[in-house]
């Protein structure tokens, strides 16, 4: 969209820049005349749920809320460009592999089912019945259903996801790798132990009441732009907003709301954050432990002086367990370790503590900056500890707010996409459907890749997503996928996963959420659950891209019908009317009682989160303080001991112009990057220390102890305000550097935000 340059961006996030980019994207995608109409229906009661992020909407009935990246997501789906059989006839897979992810995305929407033809190295058209028969034959030929693995990406609706898990369990496996394995899994694993439920405890109403926000490891102006509207309101009414992030993300400094003329005219926008606490990568656990230590010290002082207590003594006594043991560990923690491991000085820890204890109602939000680390689970549990200290969980205006990524990633999990299902859930499936679901836990993302490499998984089916690019250790993952007998991708747009295929391979085009899904009983709505556990219905409004595109529900139902010859489940009936699927969901999950009636209400309904009501579904029946040590011997520590200050820790983030592996454009304007993506941000002092200059080309070389060489070559070195020893680059270009066996303890989330690497001068000539 613009020429290559690095140039500081001095404007607030949002604002005129956002409007300009929206216009450019609508033009680029040649969104037909109804494009604007499409946008006006986004997140409206009778419209569709934005396929962008999982941030909730006010009642889903608000006036059109402007969101630049929501527009990009919709424009990418509503594009008038098409990838047809004629396109595939022109390009071999080898040819397409030469194109960048950006170019692949640019070709437009997939229109018909295609099958890989080895002799010509091309994809050829295949009829839907033949495609289902091919899949059924492969699945039924496997000696063990556990040799197939069924991926889900988080755009899939509750209806499609529910049918999918039912089919896969009836087929005989719990192999459900899911994008959330790479995303908020540490949240889903960490919170049940401390507060009983792996979901957030707040709703948007709490945002109105909170006076203090701690925003950990998140870049909302890019990834959850509608959250910026809320934060702007909060800042305007005087709430304190703290950003805890190695980077000063522009959107958390200043935001200009295109909805508010005053912001737009002033050009300076609204100040969002008053305080930037900048830990080193994966320093948050130590930082939060430091804050907790100060809170306890202040509380001791208050006790001595007969002043008002700082901790919520009554809440702790009535609602929590293990406080004494926890407090003893905190008191024994060394300040030196806290400061060294967090990278945050005592002054900043003091300031953050003061903000926390002054806050009457505190909300802590977090994103991938906390989850994608070896100690992601522990870090989130430490945040939970901090919040429990002052009773900041389960009362109005306060609570935990993990901010999910994909628009229905939370819903997919709720309706059964889970490789570790509970016995109670499986009992219910057995009771309702009369078949015995497999009890053995299944494979997650990392487990699936490992099993493929060992020859134990032979069939891969992906309901959405881009498995080859989103996953770690790219060369090994590709080898894994290429060792499969069959790979299938049910997708809307061309991506690299289609090109890194098994012996047999299918591309199955599906409809997006913006399209009208017409079935026998009429136009169908699908339901999704946002990050705050609100479930609502979504109706498409655009004409489907082609008659040969099927809905996800239709594809899953027909696949089940073709594969499970003796099944008593009436798969094809469900396609006629998705309300029937919701009735099925209701039979298995009590929380979905009166599902169809409740989604008729504008804005839908809240699923209910026990911890929000101070009902603690933990082993002790109370909220649990968790005693956790500051990690001091991680692979990063070991690599640093071995390589000294030259060792850099790499985080991989999203640019402003991408949706995960989908590259919309080549600018990351808030960070001053234009027309390119192969850049690496480093501290100017580190650049000098390493003997480089800004503008040099460097290769990134992984440091790991398994003897495998991992590298990502040719990145432009850019000076950036980032803590010493930390560097930052974009995902997915840097995924080859993430070792497959480097993941969060207990959650197995790849450590995409703490990869030990060395920088080497690039020997390749600039293109």
- Report, in Å, the least distance between residue 261 CB and ligand MGD: 25
Which tokens is 632 given? 């001091």
**Contact pattern from residue 220 through residue 249 relative to ligand MGD, giving x for each residue in contact according to CB under 6 A and a dash for the rest:** --xxx-------------------xxxx-x
Q: Report CA-CA distances (Å) from 321 to 291, 312, 622.
A: 20, 14, 6
* Choices 179-187, 416-424, 440-448, 504-512; region in contact with Mo ion by CB under 5 A: 179-187
With CB under 5 A as the contact rule, the residue among 172, 405, 635, 739 that binds Mo ion is: 405
> Which positions from 698 through 737 interact with ligand MGD, judged by CB under 6 A?
731, 734-735
Angle of CA points 227, 233, 237, to nearest 5°: 145
| Distance between CA atoms of residues 591 and 142, nearest Å | 36
Q: Does 658 bind ligand MGD (CB under 6 A)?
A: yes
Q: Which is nearer to ligand MGD, 47 or 51 (CB)?
A: 51
| Distance between CA atoms of residues 653 and 632, nearest Å | 25
Q: Does 183 bind Mo ion (CB under 5 A)?
A: yes
| Distance between CA atoms of residues 541 and 555, nearest Å | 20
H or E segment to which residue 597 belongs: helix 595-599
For residue 138, the partner it binds in ligand MGD, Mo ion, none, with Cβ less than 5 to 8 A by kind, is: none
The answer for 178, left when phi > 0, alpha when psi is -120 to 50, beta otherwise, is: beta
- Report, in Å, the least distance between residue 652 CB and ligand MGD: 4
Buried b (16+ CB within 10 A) or exposed e, 605-634: bebebbbbebebebeeebbbbbebebbeeb
Q: Does 288 bind ligand MGD (CB under 6 A)?
A: no
Give bridge partners of residue 460 from the DSSP assignment. Answer: 149, 487
Nearby residues of 41 by Cβ (< 8 Å), 6 or more positions away: 47, 48, 541
Q: Which is nearer to ligand MGD, 52 or 438 (CB)?
A: 52
Determine contact, residues 153/179, Cβ cutoff 8 Å. Answer: yes
Q: What is the DSSP letter of 297?
A: H
**Contact pattern from residue 342 through residue 381 relative to ligand MGD, giving x for each residue in contact according to CB under 6 A and a dash for the rest:** -------------------------xxx--x---------
| Distance between CA atoms of residues 402 and 410, nearest Å | 11
Q: Does 652 bind ligand MGD (CB under 6 A)?
A: yes
For residue 369, the partner it binds in Mo ion, ligand MGD, none, with Cβ less than 5 to 8 A by kind, is: ligand MGD
Residue 3: which of 713, 715, 674 has the closest Cα? 674
- How far from chain centre, in Å, is Cα 200? 15
> Which positions from 55 through 74 interact with ligand MGD, judged by CB under 6 A?
69
Determine contact, residues 110/492, Cβ cutoff 8 Å. Answer: yes
- Report, in Å, the least distance between residue 194 CB and Mo ion: 22
- Report, in Å, the least distance between residue 532 CB and Mo ion: 16
- Report, in Å, the least distance between residue 76 CB and ligand MGD: 8
- Report, in Å, the least distance between residue 182 CB and ligand MGD: 4
Q: Which is nearer to ligand MGD, 106 or 699 (CB)?
A: 106
Residue 297's CB is within 10 A of a number of other CB atoms, namely 14
Which tokens is 207 given? 């945002």
| Distance between CA atoms of residues 74 and 35, nearest Å | 9
- Report, in Å, the least distance between residue 749 CB and ligand MGD: 8
* Choices 253-261, 400-408, 557-565, 573-581; region in contact with Mo ion by CB under 5 A: 400-408
Q: Does 131 bind ligand MGD (CB under 6 A)?
A: no
For residue 273, the partner it binds in Mo ion, ligand MGD, none, with Cβ less than 5 to 8 A by kind, is: none
Which residue ranges make up the site for Mo ion (CB under 5 A)?
183, 405
Which residue ranges make up the site for ligand MGD (CB under 6 A)?
51-53, 69, 153, 155, 179, 182-183, 216-219, 222-224, 244-247, 249, 279, 281-282, 284, 367-369, 372, 405-406, 463-467, 470, 490-493, 495, 510, 512-513, 552, 651-654, 658-662, 731, 734-735, 738, 752-753
């Amino acid at each position: 969209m613009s020429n290559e340059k690095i140039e500081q961006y001095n404007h607030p996030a949002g604002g005129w820049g956002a409007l300009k980019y929206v216009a450019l994207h609508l033009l680029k995608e040649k969104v037909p005349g109804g494009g604007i109409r499409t946008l006006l229906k986004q997140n409206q009661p009778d419209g569709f749920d934005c396929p962008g992020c999982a941030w909730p909407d006010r009642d889903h009935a608000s006036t059109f809320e402007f969101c630049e990246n929501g527009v990009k997501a919709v424009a990418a789906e509503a594009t008038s460009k098409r990838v047809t059989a004629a396109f595939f006839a022109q390009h071999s897979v080898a040819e397409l592999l030469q194109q960048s992810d950006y170019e692949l995305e640019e070709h437009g929407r997939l229109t018909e089912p295609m099958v890989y033809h080895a002799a010509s190295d091309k994809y050829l058209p295949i009829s839907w019945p033949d495609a289902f028969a091919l899949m059924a034959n492969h699945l039924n030929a496997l000696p063990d259903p556990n040799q197939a693995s069924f991926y889900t990406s988080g755009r899939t609706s509750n209806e499609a996801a529910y049918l999918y898990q039912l089919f896969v369990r009836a087929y005989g496996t719990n192999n459900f790798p899911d994008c959330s394995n790479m995303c908020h899994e540490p949240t889903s694993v960490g919170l049940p132990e401390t507060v009983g439920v792996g979901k957030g405890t707040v709703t948007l109403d709490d945002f109105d009441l909170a006076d203090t926000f701690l925003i950990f490891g998140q870049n909302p102006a890019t990834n959850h732009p509608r959250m910026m509207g809320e934060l702007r309101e909060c800042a305007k009414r005087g709430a304190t907003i703290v950003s805890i992030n190695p980077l000063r993300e522009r959107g958390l400094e200043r935001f200009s709301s295109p909805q508010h003329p005053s912001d737009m005219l002033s050009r300076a926008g609204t100040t969002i954050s008053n305080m930037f606490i900048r830990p080193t990568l994966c320093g948050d656990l130590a930082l939060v432990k430091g804050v907790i230590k100060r809170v306890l010290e202040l509380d001791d002082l208050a006790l001595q002086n007969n002043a008002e207590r700082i901790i919520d003594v009554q809440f702790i006594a009535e609602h929590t367990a293990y406080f004494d043991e926890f407090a003893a560990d905190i008191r024994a923690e060394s300040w030196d370790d806290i400061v060294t491991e967090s990278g945050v000085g005592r002054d900043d820890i003091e300031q953050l503590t003061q903000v926390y204890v002054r806050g009457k109602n505190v909300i802590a939000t977090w994103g991938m900056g906390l989850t994608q680390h070896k100690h992601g689970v522990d870090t989130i549990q430490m945040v939970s500890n901090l919040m429990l200290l002052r009773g900041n969980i389960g009362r109005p205006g306060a609570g935990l707010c993990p901010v999910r990524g994909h628009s229905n990633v939370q819903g997919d999990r709720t309706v059964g996409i889970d490789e570790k299902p509970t016995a109670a859930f499986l009992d219910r499936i057995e009771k309702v459907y009369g078949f015995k679901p497999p009890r053995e836990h299944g494979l997650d993302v990392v487990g699936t890749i490992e099993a493929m490499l060992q020859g134990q998984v032979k069939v891969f089916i992906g309901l959405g997503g881009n498995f080859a690019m989103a996953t770690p250790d790219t060369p090994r993952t590709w080898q894994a996928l290429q060792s499969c007998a069959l790979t299938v991708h049910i997708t809307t747009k061309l991506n690299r996963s289609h090109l890194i295929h098994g012996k047999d391979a299918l591309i199955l085009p599906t409809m997006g959420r913006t399209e009208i899904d017409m079935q026998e009983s009429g136009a169908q709505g699908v339901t999704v659950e946002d990050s705050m556990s609100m479930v609502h219905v979504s109706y498409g409004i655009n004409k489907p891209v082609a008659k040969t595109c099927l809905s996800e529900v239709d594809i899953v139902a027909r696949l089940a019908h073709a594969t499970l010859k003796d099944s008593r489940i009436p798969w094809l009936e469900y396609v006629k009317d998705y309300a029937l699927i919701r009735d099925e969901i209701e039979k298995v999950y009590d929380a979905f009682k009166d599902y169809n009636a409740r989604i008729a209400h504008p804005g839908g309904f809240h699923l209910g989160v026990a911890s929000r009501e101070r009902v603690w579904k933990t082993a002790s029946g109370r909220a649990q303080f968790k005693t956790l040590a500051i990690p001091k011997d991680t692979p990063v520590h070991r690599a640093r001991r071995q390589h000294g200050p030259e060792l850099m820790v790499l985080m991989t983030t999203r640019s402003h112009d991408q949706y995960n592996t989908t590259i919309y454009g080549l600018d990351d304007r808030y960070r001053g990057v234009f027309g390119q993506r192969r850049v690496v941000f480093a501290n100017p002092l580190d650049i000098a220390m390493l003997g480089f200059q800004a503008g040099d080309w460097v290769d990134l070389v992984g440091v790991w102890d398994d003897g495998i060489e991992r590298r990502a070559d040719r990145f432009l070195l850019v000076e950036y305000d980032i803590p010493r020893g930390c560097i930052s680059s974009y995902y997915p270009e840097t995924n080859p550097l993430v070792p497959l066996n480097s993941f969060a303890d207990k959650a197995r989330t790849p450590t995409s935000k703490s990869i030990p690497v060395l920088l080497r001068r690039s020997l390749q000539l600039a293109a």
